[in-house]
Amino acid sequence: MVNYRTSMQIVGDLLSATRESGEEGIKTTRLLAKANLSHTRLSKFLENLTGSELINKIEYDGKNTFVITPKGSQYLESYMKFSNVAGSFGLDL
């Protein structure tokens, strides 16, 4: 049986990958590989994340780099705690 990720899990993966890249940020291509998403799906998620101010998009020389915001870090921490609590009760998010 194939387990598909929920939107919440994908957001968590994107925020984690962005946070791991540090202050230098992460480029779109690297984020595509880490998140294992198509470019179209990634673009939709990035629109939502930048619109919610969970990540910032920095454009330079026609290339996009993404950096997690303090609000994004706070969201990720809360998501991870909730995921751990849910998991301890045998629930998958």
CB environment 6-40: b (16+ within 10 A), e (fewer): eeeebbbbbbbbbbebeeebbebeebbebbebeee
Per residue in 29-73, pLDDT (tens digit) is: 999 999 999 999 999 999 999 999 999 999 988 899 999 999 999
Q: Which residue has the tokens 């303090």?
A: 70
The architecture (CATH level 2) of 7-83 comes to: Orthogonal Bundle (1.10)
Per residue in 2-12, pLDDT (tens digit) is: 678 899 999 99
Backbone angles phi, psi at 68, to 5 degrees: -75, 145
pTM for this structure?
Answer: 0.90
Mean per-residue pLDDT over the chain, rounded: 93
